[in-house]
Structure 1
Amino acid sequence: MALLREARAISPIRSRFFVRFAQRLVFIVLAVIGLGAGVARATPMLLVDMDTLEVLYAQDAGAPWHPASLTKLMTAYVTFEAIAAGRISLDTPVTLSRKAVNQAPSKSGLPVDTAMTMKDALYIMLVKSANDVAMAIAETVGGSEAGFAAMMNETAARMGLSATHYVNPNGLDDNQQVTSARDLAILSLYIWQNFPQYGPIFGTDYVQLGKAKLESNNELLTSFAGTTGMKTGFICASGLNMVATVKRGERRYMAVVLGASSARERNERAAELMLKGFSGTLKGRGQSVLNLANNVGVAPVNMRPLICGKDAKVYVKAQESEFPYGLKGQPTNLTDTLSPVVYQASTMGRIRTGVMLPRPRPLHLPEMGVQADLAPDLRPALVANPANQNIPHPRPRPAFLN
């Protein structure tokens, strides 16, 4: 607080200006070191070996955080389970309701009553991070937003995601929508280990839908060799979030970065974690990600004042100074040039309410085949630490009656 005292000692003409400047600077400093109530202590980060589940790096991995569009990872998982259980198929029509179309951006840009296959809907939701399509998928699988959210929370409980709670399927701002870096890593591991056939979706750079090019915000897909996916997210309350997966040689790593001040920062931080992991700079101590503790019972961090508030410019500048990678004239971790992976989607036209949709085509075997059933336990890799018996394992969920 000495800075404020010095400001008041300046001539009266300049005193008020310097006091305001000093107050603003003190606020930013407090935000960065975490002394302000409800303000970020640090950027939660996590690096996990996807095959052994060993934690190679963890920073605030159990801190409650708003997931933003990383919510769509759970939306996808619940849908994958429904497909595996035979309740729907990749050919099931998904129709954009008025409620779906009224969701805030980002969106597909399609009008109300537009129908598409579930397969195309999954691509558009996960690559473009389309909030309207996420809602349409939820209504198709769960009957309603509330019904699908219940399915999401039931699945999270089976996975042992103790910091996670869902209210909506797309991650739009809600104080009750919360997770942690630890929980996001475990959810992502479940996706890769239970449903690897859907991996191509997470590694797609953009979806071509007619003349529209629906692009991913995951820059690692085209600038970091070995990237296999997965998802980005942003709302003001969360900052910029990311889960990224990379395979080089026989090693597969997953990085989680939450609360970044810019897309540049989240991409560069994720890539830096990967490089340090592959180089051996980051070495784990045998701890499984399943054994990381969540900070349960604490309100999620609210990044809105620092990301979208009046102090955003000052905060972003401070973050750029602390982590300049990727800025003009600075080194970057994203040095590769990779060809984008493209998926061609289409719609089934507009279907008026009350008109029967075309019957689903017979099940086929595309590049993402349908699992015949759900194993009662996870594959061995995700129960690498047998001493940890308190993490529930997925069991087939009974069919929901709409």
Structure 2
Amino acid sequence: MSIVRRLALVALLALLSLGRAHANPMLLVDMDTLEVLYAQEAGQPWHPASLTKMMSAYVTFEEIAKGNMTLDTPVVLSKKAAGQAPSKTSLPAGSGLTLKDALYIMVVKSANDVSMAIAETVGGSEAGFVAKMNDAAARMGLTATHFTNPNGLHDPDQYTSARDLAVLALYIRQSFPQYLPLFGTDVVRLGKANLESNNSLLTSFAGTTGMKTGFVCASGLNMVATVERNGRNLMAIVLGGSSARERNERAAELILRGFSGAVRSTGQQVLTLANNPGVPPVDMRAQICGKEAKAYVAAQEAAFPMGLTGQPSYLNDVVPPRSYVATDLGRIAVGVSLPRPRPAHLPQFAAPVSAEAVAGDLRPSLAAAATNAAPFPRPRPNNL
């Protein structure tokens, strides 16, 4: 290739990268003060993919807190649940798990079959559960969010925004901190299978505490990542990545810029960050899985080469794995007690909050369902 043609190709890739790299939503939030440290298209509606399961988990936590079920409630995979598209466990219809084990598998493996089974168990049906998801979204003020299913398989009418995902993550953190270990676990052992998380920050970026990844062609590769270092807690959201490398490295870069002070408060809190309701969600299928994918990935790599072969990476730490062992209860019938008692053990999670704490309005100005009954939001006091 001549030098002229090579320079022309580089210029084209640069233009392509400017057209899309800067359009993808990214958000960096201080979780203690709720300050927005960086925001890019944070109110743009976007398909959530498996980040949907964060809301599925939240709704389940609420129902446990209300006393409608327990962590030992059996979750049985229906034919509909077992027939969901991957990612999934591939357990046969009729297989049973405790709700606790099902939650771990849903969050860590991002298993669509188990997510549907949880929805049917908690909501009585998929539709009943989705109604609870949208009710919770309305109470949280997620004005750019709408759900049609509990697992994130693509539906044009299922969408959210980086801003709304940040608020949802903050509600999980404040209202149900006892369940945060689910989001920080990187592998669930189920029989001989190791069900691994796609969040590589958990094992290669020190201080990572969670939370979730997601992917469908229409969304690209999405991530919500939370990190704690030296007493500071930051959250990065990256939507529409062209690859897991790009998504993970961009999230790590945002976090490091926040810790270093390279980005500081924008003067906004995440709760007052504007959404763009009514704007259609971006559809990334052509760029991620279609005819434009090769050129799009090349443009993204040229614009952001971190983590590519021969390039530096932010993901160089060695973090001890955090695993959880789940039990396949075998095939059980609905309405029948668990076939064998679980062994006595010390509770991993704190006692759930009271039903009264989650029965009222969960809008930020009022007390949320937290174990410490702290109001939401709770800014960190200024240093003297």
Change (3 A) 1:106 1:293: same
Q: Paired residue for 2:240, among 241, 259, 279? A: 259
Could you tell me how far apart the structure 1 residues matched to 2:111 and 2:197 are? 10
The residue aligned with 2:376 is 382
Task: Assess if the C-alpha contact under 8 Å between 1:53 and 1:381 holds in 2.
Answer: no
Q: Paired residue for 1:220, among 201, 210, 217? A: 201
Kindly state the Cα deviation for residue 355 of structure 1 after the two structures are TM-superposed. Answer: 6.1
Q: Deviations over 1:239-280 (max 9, x none)?
A: 000000000011000000000000000100000001000111
The residue aligned with 1:91 is 72
The residue aligned with 2:338 is 358
Matches within 5 A, 1:329-340: 329-340=310-321
Task: Assess if the C-alpha contact under 8 Å between 1:28 and 1:315 holds in 2.
Answer: no
Could you tell me how far apart the structure 2 residues matched to 1:323 and 1:384 are? 35
Kindly state the Cα deviation for residue 192 of structure 1 after the two structures are TM-superposed. Answer: 0.6
Matches within 5 A, 1:44-83: 44-83=25-64
Kindly state the Cα deviation for residue 348 of structure 1 after the two structures are TM-superposed. Answer: 1.2
SS in 2 for 1:340: coil
Could you tell me how far apart the structure 2 residues matched to 1:169 and 1:54 are? 30
User: Any unmatched runs of 5+ in structure 1?
Assistant: 1-17, 35-39, 386-402
SS in 1 for 2:221: strand
Kindly state the Cα deviation for residue 31 of structure 1 after the two structures are TM-superposed. Answer: 8.2
The residue aligned with 1:205 is 186
Kindly state the Cα deviation for residue 286 of structure 1 after the two structures are TM-superposed. Answer: 2.9
The residue aligned with 2:261 is 280
User: Any unmatched runs of 5+ in structure 2?
Assistant: 361-366, 380-384
Matched, 1:160 2:141: yes
Q: Say what the alpha-carbon RMSD is for the aligned residues.
A: 2.3
Task: Assess if the C-alpha contact under 8 Å between 2:17 and 2:302 holds in 1.
Answer: no
Task: Assess if the C-alpha contact under 8 Å between 2:163 and 2:270 holds in 1.
Answer: yes
Q: Deviations over 1:58-116 (max 9, x none)?
A: 00000000000000000000000000110000000000000001100000121110001
Q: Paired residue for 2:250, among 269, 293, 309? A: 269
The residue aligned with 1:4 is none
Could you tell me how far apart the structure 1 residues matched to 2:28 and 2:22 are? 19
Could you tell me how far apart the structure 2 residues matched to 1:360 and 1:167 are? 36
Normalised by the size of structure 1, how large is the TM-score? 0.84
Task: Assess if the C-alpha contact under 8 Å between 2:14 and 2:302 holds in 1.
Answer: no
Normalised by the size of structure 2, how large is the TM-score? 0.88
Task: Assess if the C-alpha contact under 8 Å between 1:52 and 1:381 holds in 2.
Answer: no
Q: Paired residue for 1:128, among 105, 109, 120? A: 109
Task: Assess if the C-alpha contact under 8 Å between 1:69 and 1:234 holds in 2.
Answer: yes
SS in 2 for 1:172: coil
Change (3 A) 1:248 1:30: closer
Kindly state the Cα deviation for residue 314 of structure 1 after the two structures are TM-superposed. Answer: 1.0
Task: Assess if the C-alpha contact under 8 Å between 2:13 and 2:299 holds in 1.
Answer: no
Change (3 A) 1:43 1:91: same
Change (3 A) 1:165 1:27: farther
Which structure: larger Rg? 1
Task: Assess if the C-alpha contact under 8 Å between 1:51 and 1:381 holds in 2.
Answer: no
Could you tell me how far apart the structure 2 residues matched to 1:270 and 1:162 are? 24
Could you tell me how far apart the structure 2 residues matched to 1:271 and 1:59 are? 16
The residue aligned with 1:322 is 303
The residue aligned with 1:371 is 352
SS in 1 for 2:325: strand
The residue aligned with 1:42 is 23
The residue aligned with 2:382 is none
The residue aligned with 1:347 is 328
The residue aligned with 2:19 is 33
The residue aligned with 1:303 is 284
Matched, 1:106 2:87: yes
The residue aligned with 1:149 is 130
Kindly state the Cα deviation for residue 360 of structure 1 after the two structures are TM-superposed. Answer: 10
Task: Assess if the C-alpha contact under 8 Å between 2:332 and 2:339 holds in 1.
Answer: no
Task: Assess if the C-alpha contact under 8 Å between 1:73 and 1:231 holds in 2.
Answer: yes
Kindly state the Cα deviation for residue 335 of structure 1 after the two structures are TM-superposed. Answer: 1.4
Could you tell me how far apart the structure 1 residues matched to 2:18 and 2:152 are? 25
The residue aligned with 1:392 is none
Kindly state the Cα deviation for residue 357 of structure 1 after the two structures are TM-superposed. Answer: 3.6
Task: Assess if the C-alpha contact under 8 Å between 1:93 and 1:360 holds in 2.
Answer: no
Could you tell me how far apart the structure 1 residues matched to 2:98 and 2:117 are? 11
Task: Assess if the C-alpha contact under 8 Å between 2:13 and 2:302 holds in 1.
Answer: no
Task: Assess if the C-alpha contact under 8 Å between 1:244 and 1:270 holds in 2.
Answer: yes
Could you tell me how far apart the structure 2 residues matched to 1:251 and 1:245 are? 11
Q: Deviations over 1:4-52 (max 9, x none)?
A: xxxxxxxxxxxxxx9xx99xx9899568526xxxxx8612000000010
SS in 2 for 1:163: coil
Which range is displaced more, 280-289 or 97-106? 280-289
Kindly state the Cα deviation for residue 356 of structure 1 after the two structures are TM-superposed. Answer: 2.1
